[in-house]
Amino acid sequence: MNLTTVTYRDPLNIAIVKNVITVVLSIAIIYVNGTLLHTFKKHEVFNTNPRYILYIHLVINDILLLIMFTLLQVLSYAIFTLHVPFCIILLVIAIISSLNTPMTLAVMAVECYVAICFPLQHSQICTVKNVTVVITVIWMLSSLTILPDLFTILATESRDFFHSRVFCLWKTTFRPPELEKKKDISNIVFLVIVWLTLVYTYFRILFAAQAAATNARKARNTVLLHGFQLLLCMLNYVHDLLLNGLTSLFPSGVLTIRYTVSILIHVLPRIISPIIYGIRDKMFRKYLKKYLFHTKNANAFVHR
């Protein structure tokens, strides 16, 4: 996960402005996602529903990604280099979270497909227990993708390297060239599987029985939104290509381009999840309004 680059540094005033924008945006999105998480935990109607459990798993991963991105962004400006072990911890959490997202989107699409195409079997297939198992498998698969890389650098790098400081990037920490190729291959495999799942479920829902036309249309639109989310996730994998292309066209604006691309790829896509369920979903919207209204009334009472 490429979060920034090292060739140049901004003047202090510009660095402060950029970090303030990053922190404010991230806190705002984390607050919204945190509100959704609180609403989920407070009401049994959500935490006993497999669909909402999958959604909140997506929200938690968005929060983790934002925290890691903001930490790396701010620390890269504030102290520039980090101790290698600390950098590895931040990168591993960020990478696992970023891999969890597309797999969770695929599982959510499958859940929609089962609900529309196999309504009688849905309650037996999509249970809280089964969803918990699936989420555990997602974390295991993501971890198994990055752990071999971790073991490789533990075996090949010197002790001095782990006592040194680096500008915290994948390429400066996981340095063996074969790891870069492995990362590209694993990303392609993940994305192909997820895209095939989304396309298959979308067309199966599209041709679902006319008796369930309304529900099928809603599920189809949800799968389309999952596809849009996945498209935004894929921007992470063309980060370097996009950055190199734009900086070659506008070399004088290299620092602005790097910052803007990072915000577009790592921060703004995290807004999509709250929109899909926090606003589109009637049930979540109903309980969210209750929570916000209750909070507003409580604050008004305190200030009397």
Which residues lie below 8 Å from residue 65, measured CB to CB, with a gap of 6+? 94, 97, 98, 101, 266, 270
Phi-psi region of 80 (alpha: psi -120 to 50; beta: other; left: phi over 0): left
Per-residue pLDDT of the chain (304 residues; tens, 9 = 90+): 444 444 467 777 888 888 899 999 999 999 888 888 888 888 888 888 898 999 899 999 999 999 998 998 889 888 888 999 999 999 999 889 988 988 888 898 888 888 888 888 888 999 999 999 999 999 999 999 899 999 999 999 888 999 999 988 888 899 888 888 888 788 788 878 888 888 888 788 777 755 555 666 667 677 777 777 777 777 776 766 777 788 888 877 788 888 888 888 788 778 877 776 666 777 777 777 776 666 555 454 445 5
What is the pLDDT, as a whole number, of residue 134?
A: 95
**From CA 60, how far away is CA 63, in angstroms rounded?**
5
The whole-model pTM stands at 0.82
Counting Cα atoms < 13 Å in the Cβ hemisphere of 38 gives 12
Give the three-state DSSP class for 235.
helix
What is the pLDDT, as a whole number, of residue 231?
A: 75
| Helices and strands of the chain, counted as H and E runs | 14, 2
Domains of the chain, CATH where assigned: 12-290 (1.20.1070.10)
